[in-house]
Amino acid sequence: MKQCPRCNQTYTDDQLNFCLNDGELLTNFATEPGRYADDAPPTILLDSARVTNPASWPQGASPPAPWQPQNMQNQPFGSSFVQKRDQTLPTIAMILGILSVALICCYGGIWMGLPAAILGFLGMRNADSDPGRYGGRGMAIAGMVLGTISLLASLVVAVIAIVAR
């Protein structure tokens, strides 16, 4: 037998789990005082928790160090992550240097070679002064060399074009 704890309705059908009147979960109805119909097993109590005694540690072994909180107040956000080095100027210098070499015939060394050489120099100076923050020293050198070569070649082509007229 089961009984609703809210409305005290008693049900003889053991297959019902909820009260048909109010939907409350049914509980087993006591047939004898102190005894339930389903004969649930008694509650088992376990032994008390094990007590750790420093005297039982092996000789020569030191006790574990107590946990100490980390001081995170003065660290900037994200400082524990690896930060990528800035390679913007060297990348632009190398791209302009390559384009200026490809466009020597159209005086591209004057319009793209000079900015490539300047940006390559700035990128190399940044990489030398702060290598932890800036990178791409090799790309900066490549952009500076290609820009200088294409600038000089474009000036030679321009001088030859002027003299040939």
The b-or-e profile of 58-80 (16+ CB within 10 A means b, else e) is eeeeeeeeeeeeeeeeeeeeeee
pLDDT of residue 95: 95
pLDDT tens-place string over residues 79-96: 556 678 899 999 999 999
pLDDT tens-place string over residues 104-141: 888 888 899 999 999 999 999 999 999 889 999 999 99
